[in-house]
Structure 1
Amino acid sequence: MRWQSLPLFAGFAVLALIVGTRAVLVEGQRANREAARQAIDYQESLSGLLSLAQDAETSQRGYLLTGEKSYLQSYRQAVKAIPGQLARIDSMTTPDDELVQQINRIKDALSLKQTDMAQTIALYDRGDAAKALELVRSGQGKAAMDQIRASMDTIRRIGGAAIAARDEHTDRVESWLRIGSLAALLAIFLLGAYTIRLSRRRFREVAVAQEELMRKNIELGNEIRTRETAESQMRQMQKMEAVGQLTGGIAHDFNNMLAVIISAMNLAQRKLARGEHDIIKFIEAATDAATRAANLTARLLAFSRQQPLAPQVVDTNRLVTGMSDLLRRVLGETIRIETVLAGGLWKTHADPSQIENAILNLAVNARDAMGDNGKLTIETVNSHLDDSYAATHAEVKAGQYVMIAVSDTGEGMPAEIMAKAFEPFFTTKPVNKGTGLGLSQVFGFVKQSGGHVKIYSEPGEGTTIKIYLPRFFGAEEALLPTGRGDNPAAVTETILVVEDDARVRASTTDALRELGYTVIHAGSGHEALQILADNPGVALLFTDIVMPVMNGRKLAEEALARLPQLKVIFTTGFTRNAVVHNGVLDHDVHFLAKPFTIEQLAAKLRDVLDAK
């Protein structure tokens, strides 16, 4: 094989030598052409300079002959352009003694000519036209122009000689190029003939190998399609399994809560029908079940990243410190709590109540994993997730984060449990020891806030869950005082309730009247606007968001346009676009999620009504 390839290698070497030599000659020719082009540009620049001087002279003479100021426009333009043209010529002038000498003569003569023209114009402007004409007739300006033309002719002769020499050299190069091209063509022909002869001997082997490769490719393609189909079916099965687990968990928990509510209400109805009034325990049971149902709905919204957030600039160290008493009450005295707070911790922009809820959920999970004895560590630190980390973790953006780590000394988790830990209704706890939504709620909140959450655990070594919230850049917003005092004034305000569901409207109206407010109610946005027109003393608009024809946001905009002093509170069980965008409440929006207790309603009303 080596001996067979030797002529081929030799032919390629000769061809490469010829092509390389030709390339060198071509580059030399290109350099000659570039030099010729530069010489032409140089001559054109000189001609442009002469043209400017002639324009100035013509303009000057026209002015001296007519006295019209308009003739001086060309003079002024030429005088203004001459320095730039000289600078361009200087940049193009080669360091040749003879050329530099001629350029200096041109500059001197041009300066003399400009001085002569300026003097004549000045004399004419002062009214001494005779002296101005005498200065023109003296021939001083003409001599300067003759000197300029003579120097330019000398430069043209020098440039012409250089161009002629380069043309002669270019002709010689073109002759060598023709010879080299013929030699290269001959070498290519000989090399091609040898290559064809060699290729014919190997073509059959290549054809056989190609047929075998095509057969292998077909088999590989069939295998890939089979695997893709199997993987697609597996993903669909896993998705349906997750949906089934989610719906099953929701149905199970809600059926339990509804069973308590229905049973308690039926028993209360029966006792009242018999004239018995000891129904408080049934009402409490129904209220507790309804509250747990509302909490379950909130957790589901958090997992699906649909909960309305009210982010603020948060000092995480201060928030963790403020939770110490709450954590001790929840975890009990047998669990040791340690906090490791970083100095100079960055601020983050998130919903502080949701951060507290996330830490509390993680602490409760840690307590259940440790039993009656153990140590819980809460740590904060500034962290940077780089591009390499982001590339290996979905939905993670590289950047700076505030990290909150919650660690326990519990049993730890194996890899298969960690893989499912954030799934809704997945739990390793005994029956009635949790809903399986704690970690999924943490996961949904962190992702909705643009952050990242990661589990580190080994069986027998405990668990660490790290929450990464994006660093906040910018000035911290000052918290405005709510204006509420320790002794709030008596309730005197009138509130307009707008709700399209008659039963919800009636219950909300009764609750507000129970709190002592004067209440007016409406079933639609248009009806509410008519009521506001008839009752301008309404202090607050309490409106549902999702309503037909005119939603709550449109109603509030119309109402505020008519009554700018009106306060507004929005309420709904679920909203995505009206007052919540990208999971965050719009600025200056007051919101109360359904369902709410009378205590929550009373607190929200006073917060809004008493605000300055």
Structure 2
Amino acid sequence: MHDDDDRNTSFPEDWCRRWTSAVEDYAVIGLSPDGTIRTWNRGGERIHGFSAEEAIGKPFDIFHTLEDREVGRAAAALDTARSTGRAESEGWRLRKDGSRFWANVVITPLTGDDRRVLGFGKIVRDMTDKRRAHEAVVESERRFRTLVNGVTDYAIFMLSPEGIVTNWNAGARRIKGYSADEIIGSHFSRFYTPDDAAAGLPQRGLSVAAKEGRFEAEGWRVRNDGKRFWAHVVIDAIRDDNGELIGFAKITRDITERMEANRALEETRKALFQAQKMEAVGKLTGGVAHDFNNVLQILRGNLELLDSRHHRDPWSRDRIYKAIDAVDRGSKLASHLLAFGRQQPLQPVAINLAAALRGMDDLLRRALGETVRVETVVGGGLWNTLVDIHQLENVILNLAINARDAMPHGGKLTMELSNAMLDDEYVATVPDLAAGQYVMLAVTDTGTGMPQDVLERAFDPFFTTKPEGEGTGLGLSMAYGFVKQSGGHIKIYSETGHGTTVKIYLPRSTQPAVEPPRRTRAPVKGGTETILVVEDDRKVQSTAIDTLTGLGYRVLKADDAQQALTVLRSGVDVDLLFSDVVMPGPIRSTDMAAQATLLLPRMKVLFTSGYTHNAIVHGGRLDPGVELLSKPYSRDQLARKIRQMLDAPGKPDADQPGGAPAVAATPLRILIVDDDENLSEAISEQIGVLGYTRKSTTSAHEALQWLSEETFDVLMTDLRMPGLGGVELAKRAVAIRPALHVLFSSGYDMTDSPAMPFRWASLRKPFTVEELRAVLEGFRQ
């Protein structure tokens, strides 16, 4: 019985004392009613750093920070424990060495049988590691929120499993236009277009993400202001540790600019491909046109000669007229091919298109018929433009006829003129078009319109949707080539059932406008003057001679440029030189004409060609002062052109006021060096025509020998020669004759050549006689 009493009384008390003394993870402290430390265990020593002797008898606020002691935090804890039976808190506490730790503290009052407080039991646990881990998590979450909220290029937000927006970042506000207060709690389907929302796209995205873990798509989305943007969207499913779906993370990016850039890039690629295709076909057509026009010229000329011989025979005359009509159609076909290939010679003048359109009123109304109403709208302050008015009239007439054919039951044709600015963004998608000021001509019909596949091929040569025999498919391609050659831009806008608009942009000109030429038809007249016909095609030559002879002229002939110069040097008086542009032989027709006008300054020069080949056309335009009659031409066209030129005022004589001598009174002495014997001889002939004294050789060493024996004013040398090159030859020559001028003749450009210690100039082959004369005379200055 005693043993039992001992177990029930003394053992538990001893057991509790031993347990509290042995615990090291907790500071178990006994406090008096006023907070004085009465008991101390190993845990108190380990956690606070004080031994029992150092702690017992001290007030327990020695463990509190200065801030806590100043506000009486320790006494407050005891009051709370007295009144509520327990006080629990967390906060910073002090160790003996003054360092801090984060403590979890529980104070429990110890009461007697009469409920009087005998003291307090205090348990302290060091929670510093847990606190730091918690703070790290909090900091991580804070940084993540800061990161997400700071992102402005992406809309990042969370959705509930049902699609309700639960949070919102700054990027979402910027992209979609909603503040967090406006959108949180709303269903995310409000960002979709009405059609997409009605089709179930929002729920489909959530379903795919829930099933597959991720959904990605692009499409139109709607901002708060109702505007649309093209979005790239990713929805990720969010699940808890048990795999349960707890929501979705949604990331949206506004890629409208990228989409527009890709679209512009694709349009530029298509435009470049189209331009390259047009360029390739244009070169092919231009090459064929010369021979084709020569054939047509032979046919037309001989048919007109036959007509003049058999004009009293109705049957023959009818057949000849039909044949001539066929030649005319072939001529138009060739003209359209050249226009498409941007190889027709243009004679642009500054005009105001309003006056040009007014002058076409009667022509358009006759071509369109009574079922098509024509309306012309002209913007105020219309700028001038530099354009070949005759070719532009052909383009307008073709567009009007196309519009008429698209309105079989009648309709309205509107022709609008206005000023336009094409900026850098617009021209970026159009190859070979400069930004700037343009005059815009829009031709709009109310016809059937064109589907997209037809629209994409509208400018292709020979492409047509008309029945066989009703169109060549060259009308729009001719317009395309002409506008491009004029430095402009042409664009078609069309939709099936809603008509078509063709817009032509022509560069603005600041030159004063000239009046459009009147549509007059002068009577055909001949004459008795002398004409030299230079043509390498014998059949074309024969036809031209017979036609001119029939008009009363005295006609001489030459098969090439060399023969022509021989004829002119014979002393015969020639009033007009009528020459083909493209001919074989070492002398070009243009050089021959330049030499011919030096021999006969009053002589007029008229070129003819079916294909100019850039001989007299540069930048798509005839060289200044050049007259051209394109093949095939009619008898009337030839007669009017020749009469027009012969009746025009002549050139002033060299010895009259305003005249200029071909060369100076004292001729230059020129030494010509070129390793090509034929070329050396040709250049020597050119210099001889100009009246200079010359001597030529194919050897650089022979030239140096001559320089040591004779005086020359100019050394004209090829740049690249075997053995001794042109530059080294020039240096040695100037060492012999310091006053010598040097003229380099080369097929290469010398604009970037280094400075040389003598006076020099360069001519790029091939050069004209006038270019040669100008450089040589420049050495006199």
Which TM class, normalised by the smaller chain length? 0.5 to 0.7
Q: 1:493 aligns with which of 529, 532, 549?
A: 529
For the pair 1:376 / 2:413, whether they are aligned, the reply is yes
Q: Which residue of 2 aligns with 1:527?
A: 563
Q: Which residue of 1 aligns with 2:206?
A: none
Say whether the 8 Å CA contact 1:576–1:583 is kept in structure 2.
Answer: no
Say whether the 8 Å CA contact 2:351–2:386 is kept in structure 1.
Answer: yes
Report Cα offsets for 1:130-170 as digits up to 9, x if no partner. Answer: xxxxxxxxxxxxxxxxxxxxxxxxxxxxxxxxxxxxxxxxx
Tell me by how many angstroms 1:477 deviates: 6.9
Q: Which residue of 2 aligns with 1:387?
A: 424
Tell me, in whole angstroms, the C-alpha distance in 1 between the residues paired with 2:508 and 2:410.
35
Tell me, in whole angstroms, the C-alpha distance in 2 between the residues paired with 1:327 and 1:239.
32
Alignment of 1:418-433 (within 5 A): 418-433=455-470
Say whether the 8 Å CA contact 1:334–1:372 is kept in structure 2.
Answer: yes
The secondary structure found in structure 2 opposite 1:278 is helix
Q: Which residue of 1 aligns with 2:331?
A: 294
Q: 2:623 aligns with which of 577, 586, 607?
A: 586
Q: 1:436 aligns with which of 450, 473, 488?
A: 473
Answer 1 or 2: which has greater helix percent. 1
Q: Which residue of 2 aligns with 1:466?
A: 503
Q: 1:510 aligns with which of 546, 553, 578?
A: 546
The secondary structure found in structure 2 opposite 1:587 is coil
Tell me, in whole angstroms, the C-alpha distance in 2 between the residues paired with 1:379 and 1:243.
31
Deviates more, 1:386-395 or 1:431-440: 386-395
For the pair 1:565 / 2:605, whether they are aligned, the reply is no
Tell me by how many angstroms 1:576 deviates: 2.1
Tell me, in whole angstroms, the C-alpha distance in 2 between the residues paired with 1:325 and 1:466.
22
Tell me, in whole angstroms, the C-alpha distance in 1 between the residues paired with 2:517 and 2:459.
37
The one-letter code of the counterpart of 1:414 is P
The one-letter code of the counterpart of 1:523 is D
Q: Which residue of 1 aligns with 2:696?
A: none
TM normalised by structure 2 equals 0.43
Tell me by how many angstroms 1:291 deviates: 1.7
Q: Which residue of 1 aligns with 2:160?
A: none
Q: 1:457 aligns with which of 481, 494, 502?
A: 494
For the pair 1:352 / 2:389, whether they are aligned, the reply is yes
Tell me by how many angstroms 1:486 deviates: 7.5
Say whether the 8 Å CA contact 2:350–2:512 is kept in structure 1.
Answer: no
Q: Which residue of 2 aligns with 1:551?
A: 588
Q: Which residue of 2 aligns with 1:89?
A: none
Tell me, in whole angstroms, the C-alpha distance in 2 between the residues paired with 1:318 and 1:544.
35
Alignment of 1:267-282 (within 5 A): 278-282=315-319
Alignment of 1:179-258 (within 5 A): none
Tell me, in whole angstroms, the C-alpha distance in 1 between the residues paired with 2:577 and 2:329.
29
The secondary structure found in structure 2 opposite 1:297 is helix
**Contiguous gaps of at least 5 residues in structure 1:** 8-230
Report Cα offsets for 1:243-293 as digits up to 9, x if no partner. Answer: 79x99xx99xx9xx99xx89x99xx9xxx9xxx993223322222222211
The one-letter code of the counterpart of 1:545 is V
Larger radius of gyration: 2
Alignment of 1:285-364 (within 5 A): 285-364=322-401
Say whether the 8 Å CA contact 2:526–2:639 is kept in structure 1.
Answer: no
Q: Which residue of 1 aligns with 2:578?
A: 542
Alignment of 1:13-162 (within 5 A): none
Tell me, in whole angstroms, the C-alpha distance in 2 between the residues paired with 1:446 and 1:350.
9
Q: 1:490 to 1:295 in 2, by over 3 A?
A: closer
Tell me by how many angstroms 1:577 deviates: 2.2
Q: 1:299 to 1:480 in 2, by over 3 A?
A: closer
Tell me, in whole angstroms, the C-alpha distance in 2 between the residues paired with 1:415 and 1:588.
45
Q: Which residue of 1 aligns with 2:107?
A: none
The one-letter code of the counterpart of 1:519 is V
Report Cα offsets for 1:296-325 as digits up to 9, x if no partner. Answer: 111111111111111111110000000000
The secondary structure found in structure 2 opposite 1:407 is strand
Q: 1:598 aligns with which of 618, 621, 635?
A: 635
Q: 1:449 to 1:489 in 2, by over 3 A?
A: closer
The one-letter code of the counterpart of 2:510 is F
The secondary structure found in structure 1 opposite 2:509 is coil
Tell me, in whole angstroms, the C-alpha distance in 1 between the residues paired with 2:522 and 2:393.
26
The one-letter code of the counterpart of 2:341 is S
Aligned length: 367
Tell me by how many angstroms 1:335 deviates: 1.1
The secondary structure found in structure 2 opposite 1:606 is helix
Say whether the 8 Å CA contact 2:351–2:384 is kept in structure 1.
Answer: yes
Say whether the 8 Å CA contact 2:351–2:514 is kept in structure 1.
Answer: no
Tell me, in whole angstroms, the C-alpha distance in 2 between the residues paired with 1:496 and 1:593.
18
Q: 1:357 to 1:485 in 2, by over 3 A?
A: closer
Q: Which residue of 1 aligns with 2:454?
A: 417
The one-letter code of the counterpart of 1:309 is L
Q: 1:489 to 1:465 in 2, by over 3 A?
A: closer
Tell me, in whole angstroms, the C-alpha distance in 2 between the residues paired with 1:393 and 1:352.
25
The secondary structure found in structure 1 opposite 2:510 is coil
Q: Which residue of 2 aligns with 1:96?
A: none
Tell me, in whole angstroms, the C-alpha distance in 1 between the residues paired with 2:351 and 2:281.
35
Tell me, in whole angstroms, the C-alpha distance in 2 between the residues paired with 1:476 and 1:609.
27
Tell me, in whole angstroms, the C-alpha distance in 1 between the residues paired with 2:517 and 2:356.
19
Tell me by how many angstroms 1:488 deviates: 9.1
The one-letter code of the counterpart of 1:289 is A
Q: Which residue of 1 aligns with 2:23?
A: none
TM normalised by structure 1 equals 0.55
Q: 2:644 aligns with which of 590, 607, 611?
A: 607
The one-letter code of the counterpart of 1:514 is G
Q: Which residue of 2 aligns with 1:284?
A: 321
Tell me, in whole angstroms, the C-alpha distance in 1 between the residues paired with 2:481 and 2:410.
30
Q: Which residue of 2 aligns with 1:161?
A: none
Tell me by how many angstroms 1:583 deviates: 1.2
Tell me by how many angstroms 1:391 deviates: 1.5
Tell me, in whole angstroms, the C-alpha distance in 2 between the residues paired with 1:453 and 1:574.
24
Answer 1 or 2: which has greater strand percent. 2
The secondary structure found in structure 2 opposite 1:507 is helix
Tell me, in whole angstroms, the C-alpha distance in 1 between the residues paired with 2:526 and 2:633.
23
- Which contiguous aligned blocks of 4+ residues in structure 1 show a shift greater than 3 angstroms? 1-4, 474-481, 484-490
Tell me by how many angstroms 1:415 deviates: 1.5
Tell me by how many angstroms 1:580 deviates: 0.6
Tell me by how many angstroms 1:499 deviates: 0.9
Tell me by how many angstroms 1:572 deviates: 1.2
The one-letter code of the counterpart of 2:549 is R
The one-letter code of the counterpart of 2:508 is R
Q: Which residue of 2 aligns with 1:16?
A: none
Report Cα offsets for 1:525-565 as digits up to 9, x if no partner. Answer: 22212222334431110011112222210111001111111
The one-letter code of the counterpart of 1:493 is E
Say whether the 8 Å CA contact 1:305–1:583 is kept in structure 2.
Answer: yes
Q: RMSD between aligned alpha carbons?
A: 3.9
The one-letter code of the counterpart of 2:613 is R
Report Cα offsets for 1:107-136 as digits up to 9, x if no partner. Answer: xxxxxxxxxxxxxxxxxxxxxxxxxxxxxx
Name which structure has the greater RCO, CA cutoff 8 Å, separation 6+: 1
The secondary structure found in structure 2 opposite 1:527 is helix
Q: 1:565 to 1:480 in 2, by over 3 A?
A: farther
Say whether the 8 Å CA contact 1:536–1:563 is kept in structure 2.
Answer: no
Report Cα offsets for 1:215-255 as digits up to 9, x if no partner. Answer: xxxxxxxxxxxxxxxx99xx89x979x979x99xx99xx9x
Tell me, in whole angstroms, the C-alpha distance in 2 between the residues paired with 1:467 and 1:243.
22
Tell me, in whole angstroms, the C-alpha distance in 1 between the residues paired with 2:384 and 2:633.
31
Q: 1:286 to 1:479 in 2, by over 3 A?
A: closer
